[in-house]
Amino acid sequence: MTTTVIGVFEPDSVRKVTQDLMKAGFGDRDIDVIEGEEREIVSEIVGRGYDEADAKGFAKAVKRGKKLLATKAPDTQVDRVVQIMERHESDADEGKAQEETKNSRPERTESVPVIEEELEVEKRKVARGGVRLTSTVHEQPVEETVRLREEQVETERRPVDRRLSEDEAEAAFQDRTIEMNETTEELEVSKEARVVEEVALTKTVQEHEEQVKDTVRRTEVEVEKIEPSSRRKS
């Protein structure tokens, strides 16, 4: 399940809070600024699971010039969101306190900052090789044996001694031509291109977890009270 966490910030702090939330793994669709008229803001916040009294309190903060930043987070990440928001809210409160004490004119103020490093891990794509397909044309001799058919007309004279009838005799003494054609088979060679195999490239994506180990530094400030030096009376 998911929960919406809403924080109140100075306008110039919203961008920094958003950047820190995105560094923590939240996306653009999880983070949005609630704006509009008071009635619209109350309706929007009530729709996100807050009671009407809290919603009206947020709307009043907007009328005072504040910004409302809403973040939708899984229940396991709610504490992380609250921690990030509270850090910036405390920074804003500290700035306000400093503004209110400008006129107190302290005699002397010195401070030692507490500095802490944060580990930031980013990803970038690098080329690690690949596969290239190249199609080239090769020629190779082939041969086939084909049986061809040839026709030949042969003439044969045979002696015959037979009496013709009157009809056969009459027909025999007329001009007559008989033809018989010879045929032969010749080779006609043609080629047909056919797809006999395909080579395809397919890219698959695999993910793995890699643990990053490093050290970060943080300064610690110790407060020690200095006692006045004792005096001995002679």
- pLDDT recorded at residue 102: 39
Asked if residue 139 belongs to a domain, the reply is no
Which one has a higher pLDDT value, 173 or 180? 180
Domain holding 69, by residue range, is 2-99
Asked if residue 175 belongs to a domain, the reply is no
Asked if residue 86 belongs to a domain, the reply is yes
Q: What is the mean pLDDT of residues 38-62?
A: 90
Please report the DSSP string for the chain in residue order.
Answer: -EEEEEEEE-GGGHHHHHHHHHHTT--GGGEEEE-S-HHHHHHHHHHTT--HHHHHHHHHHHHTT-EEEEEEEEGGGHHHHHHHHHHHHHHHHHHHHHHHTGGG--S--------B---------------------------------B------------PPPHHHHHHHTS---------B---------------------------------B------PPPPPP----
Asked if residue 234 belongs to a domain, the reply is no
Asked if residue 137 belongs to a domain, the reply is no
Torsion of CA 87, 92, 97, 103, to 10 degrees: 140
Asked if residue 173 belongs to a domain, the reply is no
Asked if residue 197 belongs to a domain, the reply is no
pLDDT tens digits along 95-136: 443 343 334 444 556 777 888 888 888 888 888 788 888 989
- Region class of 105: left (phi > 0), else alpha (psi between -120 and 50), else beta: left
Single-letter amino acid, residue 68: L
Q: Which residues pair with 184 in a beta bridge?
A: 150
- pLDDT recorded at residue 226: 63
Give the confidence band of 184 by pLDDT, cuts at 50, 70, 90.
very high
State CA 163 to chain mean position distance: 106
Task: Answer yes or no: is pLDDT of 228 > 70.
Answer: no
Least confident residue range of 42-56, 151-165, 167-181, 214-228: 214-228
Q: How many domains does the chain have?
A: 1
- pLDDT recorded at residue 85: 87
Asked if residue 178 belongs to a domain, the reply is no
